[in-house]
Chain A
């Protein structure tokens, strides 16, 4: 199964953009990249996902390199509530039978 590699921790100033990188060099052509975050003592929360095109929603933007070996999650204006562990995930499987392969995540700390 494809694996992801993320830096263990990052700091970001409140109000600034947080850019969280992820390497997934062994990803296969039909495997999606997902991002979830986990705030202490809660279950992971979905943020965004993509296959090969860049994606944007109300929470974040996802930039995937053309070779799909890496991606970056962008939180455009980080707030203190964005402090969490961010997981870059490869979704494997087919036709609704999916599972997530989580990495160890990046602990993002937003500083006032």
Chain B
């Protein structure tokens, strides 16, 4: 297994456009997390899935953000009507039954111009 993968690695978009990111977790992992990281800061929790159920959403996840994990495998994070403040690294992590360790992907860097 090659670990958690995220696509695209980089995305540049104009303000007001919609963007979608994809995360493929480690195959046997049933838990999936999204974090956002801005420059010089640690990652901030956005949302969490167990299988296909979204169990927790941070207050950071405004109405413009939506995440799905339709079959309990890969997940997508969509941002509608992007704003410059959405520019950040979006990290995905997954964990299995040995839930103490989360494995992070390389992230998707979003730049909103």
Contacts and interface: CB of A to CB of B under 8 A. Distances in A.
B4 interface: yes
Contacts of B33: 99
Interface string A62-106: 000000000000000000000000010001000011111111110
Interface of chain A, helix or strand or loop or mixed?
A: strand
Residue of B43, B55, B95 most packed against chain A (CB within 10 A)? B43
Interface residues of A, number: 21
Size bracket of the B interface = 20 to 34
B5 to A, nearest CB: 11
Contacts of B50: 96-97
Interface stretch (B64-72, B74-82, B104-112): B104-112
Contacts of B31: 96
Given A102-B43, A105-B42, A97 B105 contact: no
Contacts of B106: 41-43
B9 to A, nearest CB: 9
A100 B55 CA distance: 15
A97 B55 contact: yes
